[in-house]
Amino acid sequence: MSESALLRISGLGRDYDRGGVRALHDVSFSAEQGQTVALIGPSGCGKSTLLSLIGLLDRPDRGRIEVAGIDLATVRRGPEFRARQIGFVFQFHHMVPTMTLQENVEAPMVALGVPRAERRDRAAELLARMDLGSRAGFLPTHVSGGERQRAAVARALVNRPALVLADEPTGNLDSVNGERVMALLVHHARSQRALLLVATHNPQIAAAMDRRIELRDGAQV
Ligand SMILES: Nc1ncnc2c1ncn2[C@@H]1O[C@H](COP(=O)(O)OP(=O)(O)OP(=O)(O)O)[C@@H](O)[C@H]1O
Ligand SMILES: [Mg+2]
């Protein structure tokens, strides 16, 4: 494995006890800063499970994950580590419904103690870049699905994370909005030298990434 890998995974395994499902089995790979990587494979092969483990939303039963040289098993303040290092985009946006787009985008900066004025400026600037300037004060339910997903991307990128995890980020969008969301994510990876890991069923998206990692029945193909 390369010394400069931002993400290193070795012997990773996760079982879901109820039903005895072995969701991930002996997954090992590493990936570098600035790379775009597609995570592919049929439904149920373990893509979301893998992203949840890397994103500290779940803990593995076996193996090890390192992000920027830090073993995730040693991380005590998960939410703070995630806010600093990792941006997560879900298939369904997971925006807080009672907060405006602007407030949703500011939320990860609150976790890091960014001063209020700076939060406001950074969120507004990012929303404007995503063509959402006129929607910043709206609630997520009062904008379109594409606008909501672009705001979710803004929220994921606002702390300039070194690692961006996206789980079917375009699964719910038409092709124009899907391309837009992917372009924003890839631009972040290229301009910030971040690592982008995208779980996708879309062959065109997979083909456009630098690398593809394929899973089947929880194991690497
Ligand atoms: N919370 C859970 N409890 C029990 N089993 C689960 C749980 N989450 C996922 N699984 C099982 O683990 C396996 C991997 O699921 P996962 O959601 O990671 O697949 P996926 O590749 O993301 O699929 P899709 O493409 O449909 O999103 C599947 O067999 C699934 O049924
Ligand atoms: Mg999934």
For ligand 1, what atom is nearest to the CA of residue 215? 21
Pocket of ligand 1, candidates 21, 24, 165: which has the most ligand atoms within 8 Å of its Cβ, to mutate? 21
- Helix H or strand E segment including 63: strand 62-67
pTM of this prediction? 0.93
| Residues spanned by the domain of 209 | 33-57+77-220
The yes-or-no verdict on residue 18 having pLDDT over 90 is: no
Residues in contact with ligand 1 (CB, 6 Å cut-off): 16, 18-19, 21, 23, 41, 43-49
Q: How far is the CA of 47 from the centre of ligand 1 (A)?
A: 8
Number of domains in the chain: 1
For 56-113, the pLDDT digits (tens) are 999 999 999 999 999 999 999 888 899 899 999 988 878 999 999 999 999 999 989 9
Asked, for residue 172, whether it belongs to a domain, the answer is yes
User: Which band of pLDDT confidence, cut at 50, 70 and 90, is reported for residue 1?
Assistant: very low
Q: Ligand 2 center to residue 214 CA distance, Å?
A: 13
Token pair listed for 159: 């702390």
Average pLDDT, the chain: 93
Contact 126, 158 (CB under 8 A): yes
In a domain, 151, yes or no: yes
Is there a domain that residue 193 lies in? yes
Choose among 58, 61, 24, 17: nearest CA to 39: 24
Q: How far is the CA of 25 from the centre of ligand 1 (A)?
A: 13
Paired sense of beta strands 62-67 and 21-32, if any: unpaired
pLDDT in tens, 145-159: 889 999 999 999 999
Look at the alpha carbons of 113, 85, 26, 57 in this order and tell me if their dihedral is positive or negative.
positive
CATH number for the domain that contains residue 130: 3.40.50.300
Q: Which residues surround ligand 2, an ion (CB under 5 A)?
A: 47-48
Write b or e for each residue in 29-60: b if 16 or more Cβ atoms lie within 10 A of its Cβ, otherwise e.
Answer: bebebbbbbbbbbeeebbbbbbbbbbbbeeeb
